[in-house]
């Protein structure tokens, strides 16, 4: 029996899940893989705090050195979350020869090049399956199974909180604020949900996934981010009537040396595989030149699904001697051999409040045509109210900047833009 001794940095929700998974499943794992995983020390801020797992008090420490300097510990598992001090602790652990397994998307997205450099210096492993989409094996799939592919297109529903909110708005016609409150009550949204609903959580994950898919570092700050906070039940209902489902999509596309990465609410056709991914599920849809279309779907959050990914990484790290690290066309964030394009092409769903008088449609079509945007579908929705009538347009594909410029030129006396939502076909 091989024993691997590990230390935890942090012991919150995910750390507790990993502890419980190792406790409840350790014997079976030992029997199967001839491997015993022993947790020796657990770094916490407060040793007296109540926890979701029964870690013995004597394992707890508030001193990170007790883990980093312990020669018996070969793998350090990080669940602290946030950029610092997690990043520095992981780097110090790797410099003292320990492999790191982390669930921390923020630290990986923001400091990956430093983390990987530290791993390569001492030839240890750096594993982060749990940092993106919980149990879904997207990191391993990109890093290993799909190595023979040029991936040119990736779209994901990679935030469970927003997908839960949008699914309920779609299914029941409810309003954003009401569903968000319910999601908080059910534990599906944080008390402060900003990172989720503003799209930043998805953007960190997209930065990691796109980097692996494109074999080029895609810095977090290059990701265009727009959240779901301004979406209305009316937009979702109108889209539904036109055959579209609204999702917070993370999109990454590559053509030659040009990359676009964006997180924003997106209408997709109701028969798209991602349109069926509802509730708190996550899914990643991609296209590679050899594998063709592929989709991985599962639980993107929660203590046990995330623990599944963490312990999978620990077992892999403990049973291999060769830690493979991805290579990137651009090593650090600053070294830009690629172009990040923010003038992507998209179709657009536009909801307008227009004056109810002759000639209005002509004017709107004219302003759009001046920027080479053409209308694919138009629908008048509901009746006249205070001399204004709601109009919905869906455009043909147009460059983002043309669309923005066209909308900026609309005369408020003729119509005001209530919503602009991108459409992916």
Name the minimum Å distance from CB 119 to its own copies: 16
DSSP secondary structure code for residue 194 in this structure:
H
Binding range to its own copies, per CB under 8 A, among 29-37, 67-75, 87-95, 101-109: 29-37
Please identify which residue in 50, 290, 334, 413 interacts with its own copies, judged by CB under 8 A: 290
Q: Is 1 in the site for its own copies (CB under 8 A)?
A: no
What are the b/e assignments for 37-58, b being 16+ CB within 10 Å? bebebbbbeeeeeeeebebeee
Instruction: Find the distance separating the first CA and the last CA of the chain, reported in whole Å.
Output: 53
Q: Which helix or strand (DSSP H or E) is residue 312 part of?
A: helix 303-319
Q: Is 276 in the site for its own copies (CB under 8 A)?
A: yes
Q: Is 293 in the site for its own copies (CB under 8 A)?
A: yes
Please identify which residue in 69, 319, 343, 374 interacts with its own copies, judged by CB under 8 A: 319
Distance from the Cα of residue 49 to its chain's centroid: 30
Please identify which residue in 4, 29, 407, 420 interacts with its own copies, judged by CB under 8 A: 29
Please identify which residue in 309, 350, 355, 403 interacts with its own copies, judged by CB under 8 A: 309
Active site residue 363: no
CA distances from 31 to 1, 2, 27, 34 (A): 9, 11, 6, 5
Q: Is 269 in the site for its own copies (CB under 8 A)?
A: no
Instruction: Indicate the residue among 310 and 398 with the shorter CB distance to its own copies.
Output: 310
Please identify which residue in 215, 240, 371, 396 interacts with its own copies, judged by CB under 8 A: 215
Q: Is 295 in the site for its own copies (CB under 8 A)?
A: yes
How many residues sit close enough to its own copies to count as binding (CB under 8 A)? Answer: 54
Question: What is the distance between the alpha carbons of residues 75 and 203, in angstroms, rounded to a whole number?
Answer: 28
Q: Is 149 in the site for its own copies (CB under 8 A)?
A: yes
Backbone angles phi, psi at 45, to 5 degrees: -80, -35
Binding range to its own copies, per CB under 8 A, among 116-124, 230-238, 289-297, 410-418: 289-297
Q: Is 344 in the site for its own copies (CB under 8 A)?
A: no
Length of the chain in residues, anyone? 425
Question: What is the distance between the alpha carbons of residues 13 and 50, in angstroms, rounded to a whole number?
Answer: 12
Binding range to its own copies, per CB under 8 A, among 21-29, 41-49, 53-61, 62-70: 21-29
Please identify which residue in 61, 175, 297, 404 interacts with its own copies, judged by CB under 8 A: 297
Per the CB < 8 A criterion, the answer to whether 158 and 131 are in contact is: no
Please identify which residue in 167, 308, 395, 419 interacts with its own copies, judged by CB under 8 A: 308
Instruction: Indicate the residue among 146 and 392 with the shorter CB distance to its own copies.
Output: 146
Q: Is 15 in the site for its own copies (CB under 8 A)?
A: no
Question: What is the distance between the alpha carbons of residues 72 and 7, in angstroms, rounded to a whole number?
Answer: 10
Q: Is 197 in the site for its own copies (CB under 8 A)?
A: no
CB-based burial of residue 229 (10 Å sphere; 0-12 exposed, 13-18 middle, 19+ buried)?
A: middle
Q: Where in 83-102 is the site for its own copies (CB under 8 A)?
A: none
Name the minimum Å distance from CB 21 to its own copies: 6
Question: What is the distance between the alpha carbons of residues 293 and 139, in angstroms, rounded to a whole number?
Answer: 17
Which residues make Cβ contacts (< 8 Å) with residue 71, sequence separation at least 6?
Answer: none
The CA R_g of the chain, rounded to the nearest whole Å, is: 24
Instruction: Indicate the residue among 258 and 276 with the shorter CB distance to its own copies.
Output: 276
Q: Is 311 in the site for its own copies (CB under 8 A)?
A: yes
Name the minimum Å distance from CB 150 to its own copies: 7
DSSP secondary structure code for residue 99 in this structure:
E
State the binding string over 58-87 for its own copies (x if CB under 8 A, else -). Answer: ------------------------------
Question: What is the distance between the alpha carbons of residues 283 and 295, in angstroms, rounded to a whole number?
Answer: 7
Instruction: Tell me the β-bridge partners of 127.
Output: 101
Which one, of 58, 87, 117, 136, lies nearest residue 312 by Cα? 136
Question: What is the distance between the alpha carbons of residues 63 and 210, in angstroms, rounded to a whole number?
Answer: 36
Distance from the Cα of residue 75 to its chain's centroid: 26
Name the minimum Å distance from CB 22 to its own copies: 8
Distance from the Cα of residue 422 to its chain's centroid: 18
Catalytic-labelled residue, pool 41, 98, 105, 205: 205
Q: Is 129 in the site for its own copies (CB under 8 A)?
A: yes
Binding residues vs its own copies (CB under 8 A) = 21, 25, 28-29, 32-34, 129, 134-137, 140-141, 144-150, 215, 273, 276, 281, 288-299, 302, 304-305, 307-312, 315-316, 319-322, 324, 327
Q: Which residues are catalytic?
A: 205
């Amino acid at each position: 029996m091989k024993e691997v001794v590990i230390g935890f940095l942090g012991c919150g929700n995910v750390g507790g899940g990993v502890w419980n998974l190792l406790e409840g499943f350790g014997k079976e794992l030992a029997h199967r893989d001839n491997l015993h995983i022993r947790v020796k020390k657990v770094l916490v801020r407060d040793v007296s705090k109540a926890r979701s797992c029964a870690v013995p008090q004597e394992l707890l420490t508030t001193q990170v050195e007790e883990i980093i300097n312990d020669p018996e510990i070969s793998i350090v598992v990080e669940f602290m979350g946030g950029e610092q001090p997690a990043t520095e602790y992981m780097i110090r652990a790797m410099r003292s020869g320990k492999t790191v397994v982390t669930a921390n998307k923020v630290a990986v997205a923001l400091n990956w090049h430093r983390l990987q450099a530290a791993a390569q210096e001492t030839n240890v492993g750096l594993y982060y399956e749990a940092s993106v989409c919980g149990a879904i094996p997207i990191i391993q799939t990109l890093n290993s199974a799909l190595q023979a592919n040029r991936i040119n297109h990736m779209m994901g529903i990679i935030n469970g909180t927003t997908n839960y909110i949008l699914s309920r708005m779609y299914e029941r016609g409810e309003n954003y604020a009401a569903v968000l409150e319910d999601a908080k009550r059910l534990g599906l949204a944080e008390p402060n949900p900003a990172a989720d609903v503003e799209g930043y959580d998805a953007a960190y994950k997209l930065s990691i996934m796109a980097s692996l898919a494109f074999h080029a570092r895609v810095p977090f700050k290059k990701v265009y981010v727009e959240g779901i906070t301004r979406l209305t039940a009316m937009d979702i209902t109108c889209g539904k009537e036109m055959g579209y489902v609204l999702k917070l999509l993370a999109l990454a596309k590559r053509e030659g040396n040009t990359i676009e990465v964006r997180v924003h609410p997106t209408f997709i056709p109701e028969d798209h595989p991602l349109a069926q991914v509802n509730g708190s599920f996550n899914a990643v849809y991609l296209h590679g030149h050899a594998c063709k279309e592929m989709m991985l779907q599962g639980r993107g959050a929660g203590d046990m699904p995330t623990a599944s990914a963490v312990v999978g990484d620990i077992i892999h790290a403990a049973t291999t001697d060769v830690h493979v690290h991805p290579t990137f066309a651009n090593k650090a964030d600053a070294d830009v051999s690629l172009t990040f394009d923010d003038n992507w092409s998209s179709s657009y769903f536009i909801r307008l409040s227009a004056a109810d008088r002759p000639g209005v449609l002509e004017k709107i079509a004219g302003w759009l045509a001046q920027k080479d945007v053409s209308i694919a579908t138009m629908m008048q929705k509901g009746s006249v109210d205070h001399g204004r009538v709601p109009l919905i347009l869906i455009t043909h594909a147009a460059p983002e900047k043309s669309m923005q410029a066209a909308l900026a030129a609309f005369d408020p006396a003729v119509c005001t833009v209530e919503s602009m939502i991108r459409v992916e076909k």
